[in-house]
Chain A
Amino acid sequence: MLNNQAEFKNKTHMGLSKRRVITGKIAEIVFFLCAVISIITTVGIVVSLLSQSLYFFFEVTLWEFLTGTRWAPILKPQSFGVLPLVTGTLLVSGIAALFAVPIGLATAVFLSEYAPDRVRKIAKPFLEILAGIPTVVYGYFALTFVTPKLQIILPDLIIFNALSAGLVMGLMIIPMVSSLSEDAMVSVSRSLREGAYALGATRSEVAWKVVVPAALSGIVASFILAISRAIGETMLVTIAAGATPRMSLDPLQSIQTMTAFIVQLSLGETPHGSIEYNTIFAVGLLLFVMTLTMNLIGHLIVRKWQQVDK
């Protein structure tokens, strides 16, 4: 009897554990494959960008590409200086950041520190709707609404211009800044706020001198992510900012961003394998390097602040 029981126990135990080990193994492999997909994708993108741009750099030196100030890959005489596209991209993103960072941060401070629950519950969904509008809608909003309104104040403004595209792009990334910053601020512990209030701090002193510094790594991360998004944004600038590569920081003029150029060339009749076609990949690679650098800087800043915290 005793023996039987022991054997039974032993058997079920062995059976269960074997089945468990197998399901565990399968789960592990599935999870591993899921994780691998994103890594493979990243590597694949880098490889395809690199190999295609290689053909480009056989014909145009890296130096000429990076320092040339005239971009005319489909006009004669051809010229492959990417700087006009880079300045165009930075101009629009810069305008967007100047507009979105202060407003986004102020919105976040308001929602997290000032707004009563009721207001927050109404305001947050509105912000999320703003984030969900397709970028093509923003593009036409900039072109057909914002530009004409701006032209009343600025008569020199060209129809396709960097200013209007930048402002509307700023509008588009405000929800990203405010929502991520607010998350960072809300997670600052209540006891820190109480500590400051107990010293006689006012609400705004608590917000700006305690909560914002304590949430700074998250706030800076939100800025960087939003600006990265602005640099990579395509549809809005293709519609509203123009198609004139111009080495200038004049926001009233028509410009062309890196992404808008890629769209323009992809839609044309450029034959595969031609140098003109390969410029897409060179510009794409540069864009990739730029956003990667932004993200790395973001990580470094976040890490540095976290070290100060500890």
Chain B
Amino acid sequence: MVTDEYILSSDNLNVYYGNFQALANVSIKIKPNIVTALIGPSGCGKSTLLRCFNRMNDLIPIFSLDGSIKYKSQELYDDTTDATNIRSQIGMVFQKPNPFPKSIYDNVAFGLKINGYTGNYDEAIENSLRRAALWEEVKDRLNKSAIGLSGGQQQRLCIARALAVNPEVLLMDEPASALDPIGTLAIEELIRELAGSVTIVIVTHNMQQAARVSDETAFLMVNDNRAGYLVEHDYTDKIFTNPSEERTEAYITGRFS
């Protein structure tokens, strides 16, 4: 794993919620334009780590952190770094589809509007919906409410909404866990299609999913104080066939969860 260029990197990252330490000394480097999966047992801080990358944890009053997280060369938690600016470059897709109670069109247009896009909206929206593999299903009802879509369609709409702003990174927090198998398959195919044009970091509970969609996998575990730490980060093939760490093997073979 020798690459000079990382798009996201953390160095000795410690995260706290009040007095509780959620992450301990996490140093991880994410390569651009590939899919990186974060796996590990419940409560190991995968989502917390993910939410550090776009400063989503700022919304939690008791959150604090030390150590460093960089987006390219920019220190994410620097006083001069504007969180809203970061979030328009690092998009996020959530566990439960959360389209706005607006039309399909307005959902995708939202990010463009708030970021002051002045180009052709119709074109940008069609383009985003096509990238999210949703265009054919919704092109005749763009002005209908997004709430009428199926769960899987809603989630792809949320992906289209995030892609519209043209982010360099897309963070996905268990994006398929609320979907049926068909919806899950569509999301997984979409992730593979997007890989190469956008950096994807995906948190998943489902190890098969991690194996199917990701190029690299990071395995996190919980230490004795219930804080999450990084055990191993390597090519997905290697993690699932020949991990360096005993603990990783134990986890992926199901000896504990």
Contacts and interface: CB of A to CB of B under 8 A. Distances in A.
Interface of A: 116-117, 189, 191-202, 205, 209-210, 213-214, 308-310
A209 B114 contact: yes
B148 to A, nearest CB: 7
Given A199-B161, A200-B88, A201-B87, 7 more contacts: A195-B158, A197-B87, A199-B110, A199-B115, A209-B114, A213-B101, A308-B145
A78 to B, nearest CB: 55
Contacts of A192: 98, 100-101
B80 interface: no
B179 to A, nearest CB: 15
Contacts of B225: none
A116 B62 CA distance: 12
Contacts of B161: 195, 199
B26 interface: no
The 6 closest A-B CB pairs, nearest first, are: A200-B88, A198-B92, A199-B111, A191-B98, A195-B98, A200-B87
A229 B13 CA distance: 56
Interface stretch (B53-61, B215-223, B243-251): B53-61
Given A191-B98, A192-B100, A198-B162, A116 B145 contact: no
Contact of B56 (A117, A194, A205, A214): A194
8 contacts: A117-B61, A192-B98, A194-B92, A200-B87, A200-B89, A201-B110, A209-B110, A214-B100
B165 interface: yes
Given A116-B61, A202-B84, A209-B114, A196 B100 contact: yes
A205 B96 CA distance: 22
Contact of B94 (A116, A117, A195): A195
Interface of B: 54, 56, 59, 61, 84-89, 91-92, 94, 96, 98-102, 110-111, 113-115, 145, 147-148, 158, 161-162, 165
A189 B88 CA distance: 21
Contact of B98 (A116, A194, A202, A309): A194
Nearest to B90: A198
A155 B102 CA distance: 50
A206 B165 CA distance: 16
Contacts of A195: 94, 98-100, 158, 161
A202 B88 CA distance: 11
A191 B155 CA distance: 13
A213 B102 contact: yes
A194 B91 CA distance: 11
Contacts of A210: 100
Contacts of A117: 61
A199 B114 contact: yes
A309 B59 contact: no
A198 B54 contact: yes
A309 B110 CA distance: 16
A87 to B, nearest CB: 39
B162 to A, nearest CB: 7
Contacts of B84: 197, 200-202
Nearest to A210: B100
B149 to A, nearest CB: 12
A200 B114 contact: yes
Given A309-B145, A309-B147, A198 B91 contact: yes
A193 B59 CA distance: 10
